[in-house]
Amino acid sequence: MTLSAYEIRERISQRNGRLPAPKISFEFFPPKTEKAEAALWRSVDRLESLAPQFVSVTYGADGSTRDRTHAIVEHLKTKTDLETMPHLTCVGAPREEIDQIADDYWNMGVRRIMALRGDPVGGADQRYQPTEGGYAYAVDLVEGLARRHPFELAVAAYPEVHPEAPSSTFDLDNLKRKFDAGASMAITQYFFNTESYLRFRDRCVLAGIEQPIIPGILPVTNFATTERFSLACGTAVPTWMAQAFEGLDQDPETRNLISANIAIEQVLALQSEGVEEFHFYTLNRADLCFAVSHALGVRPSVKENDDQSRIENEAQIVT
């Protein structure tokens, strides 16, 4: 008998009691235009209601993206209650400059940083060259940041192996080194082959890694772009997925329905394998991530005041 992901989840909860809602977090990127920025804040507003553990903000190699990351982080810190985790990379700046950014974040009240090597300035398909006088690899950045302030540090992990790694063993050793240098959790590159994450998680355990390896989930909004990007970052795009999106290039509404369905199947399958924390690549859109979180059992938190007024309303109806 074949069971759907929902049915598997139901069976587990019948055995173990209702599955607790997992922890979730969201990634945003610094938008380039005013219109895109307005869309970002609308998404932040909607997703904030789901009480994520943290939200992260990506970081680009060129100066203008850096400034925008800083501005978004500052806004999140001052105007929302969200725990904010900026990304920081080794690319294009000497150590002193990166240390200064870290000091500024620390003074702003930021306590988590996602420490990455970063993609080369021309994009992921260019050859990486460490910056002179800079941190060469993520492990060096983790060491540097951990020495500077007691940040909680996250690092990247690759269930399907980083495309530049000479071997999967080298890549796993690299992840272990990042933990040994002071990272306390890893977030994975997105993947569509759920099995690849589960096998990777097994290999991490065998390598003695005890820290959480949080799966990065990408609900696909544009299949053609995702296919191109996946080639550069080493994520396999299964044939079934290409078939699911076939013929929908001009039909975003149907694409969204398919996309939510695929992501929901994926998270429920992972949850039934004991995964308790998920990181969503939002692409600054709330709708798909909100739907997928809902399917996992995550609901908007009711604020105390709302709760109080509901109780009062109900009391009035009864009397």
Which of 27, 48, 143, 160 is labelled catalytic? 27
Give the one residue of 103, 164, 276, 307 binding ligand FAD; rule: CB under 6 A: 164
Instruction: Assess whether 304 carries a catalytic annotation.
Output: no
- Binders of ligand FAD among residues 82 to 101 (CB under 6 A) are 87, 89
Site for ligand FAD in 182-211 (CB under 6 A): 187, 189
Asked if 59 is part of the footprint of ligand FAD (rule: CB under 6 A), the reply reads: yes
Buried b / exposed e over 194-225, threshold 16 CB at 10 Å, is: bebbbebbeebeeeebebbbbbbbbbbbebee
Q: CA distances (Å), 205 to each of 180, 217, 245, in order? A: 14, 21, 35
Minimum distance between the CB of residue 251 and ligand FAD, rounded to whole angstroms?
A: 30
When asked if residue 174 is in the footprint of ligand FAD (CB under 6 A), the reply is yes
Q: Which is nearer to ligand FAD, 9 or 179 (CB)?
A: 179
**Is 171 one of the binding residues for ligand FAD (CB under 6 A)?**
yes
Nearer to ligand FAD, 5 or 204 (CB): 204
Verify binding: residue 66, ligand FAD, rule CB under 6 A: no
Cβ 67 to ligand FAD, closest distance in Å?
Answer: 14
CB of 281 to ligand FAD, least distance (A): 8
Nearer to ligand FAD, 279 or 285 (CB): 279
Is 58 a residue that touches ligand FAD (CB under 6 A)?
yes
Q: Which is nearer to ligand FAD, 48 or 234 (CB)?
A: 234
* Binding positions for ligand FAD, rule: CB under 6 A: 58-59, 87, 89, 116-119, 137-138, 156, 162, 164-165, 170-171, 174, 187, 189, 216
The catalytic residue positions are: 27
